[in-house]
Amino acid sequence: MIGKHIPMKKLLLISVSALFFSSFSHAQLKHIFKKDSTGKNGLDKMIQKLPGNGSGSLSNDEVVNGLKEALEVGTQRGTDKLSALDGFFKNAAIKILMPPEAEKVEKKLRSLGLGKQVDNAILSMNRAAEDAAKSATPIFVDAIKKMSIQDAFGILKGDDFAATNYLKQKTTDSLTKAFRPVIETSLKKVDATKYWNTVFTTYNKFSSDKVNPDLAAYVTDKALSGIFYQVGQEEQKIRKDPVARTTDLLKKVFAN
């Protein structure tokens, strides 16, 4: 049974462990507990970096600012990739295809020799998502700037996608409101509405089972899924790949 009183050193050790260990692999954990020639292990060195332990310490402000910087870097990289030409269309992981309820439409039209019209509809949906991705960065930045100390340490203690999940929680509503009109405009600009109407008008001529899903809503949802998928990939790079830590502060906060 755990006693009523826990020594301060043990409390410190528990806090440090919870804060840092979620980012480490098994091999890295073995390295942490390996003592060097001075008799200190990696955990001792981490404790020295805590506030109040010398010039090499990490203050709360440094931790928070480091995480904000990481999120800004990750979201900027993610949105830049997806807003570029073919950012969605040539990314197999997030390419927007016909919605499930329209798959029978696609199959029927292709069998009738109308594959080109279907391909045009698919391309135009992805172009709309690429257009919408351009408006994501300022929304992400606004959420990042509002991050509290509690949010920051929650992300540090969280799993590998804690930062992405934080952004998803804080920005989904705002992104949906921002994406929907952009996507509607973009769908019109690239003639997606025309292609979509052509697809379903043609299909409905041959079928008594009419299909007319909300194209803009569908593309908006898929665009959001793609954005968060890409941000998640960037978070992994910053957590696990030292090369992705492009500033001194990132290197300091995420140093193993």
pLDDT beyond 80 at 57: no
Rounded to 10 deg, the angle between the 162-189 and 192-206 helix axes is 80
Q: Which amino acid is at 15?
A: S
pLDDT, average across residues 155-168:
88
- State the pLDDT at residue 173: 96
Q: Residue 20: name the closest of 45, 55, 39 by CA.
A: 45
Buried b / exposed e across 183-215, counting CB within 10 Å, b at 16+? bbebbeebebbebbebbbebbeeeeeeebeeeb
CA distance 141 to 69: 10
Mean pLDDT for the chain?
76
Kindly state the tokens that stand for 254. 């995420």
- State the pLDDT at residue 5: 46
Whether the CB-CB separation of 234 and 75 falls below 8 Å is answered with: yes
Task: Select the more confidently predicted residue: 229 or 236.
Answer: 229
Task: Select the more confidently predicted residue: 253 or 134.
Answer: 134
Buried b / exposed e across 90-126, counting CB within 10 Å, b at 16+? ebeebbbebbeebeebbebbeeeebeebbebbbbbbb
- State the pLDDT at residue 54: 36
Domain boundaries, the chain: 8-48, 60-253
Q: Band of the pLDDT at 223, cuts 50, 70, 90? A: very high
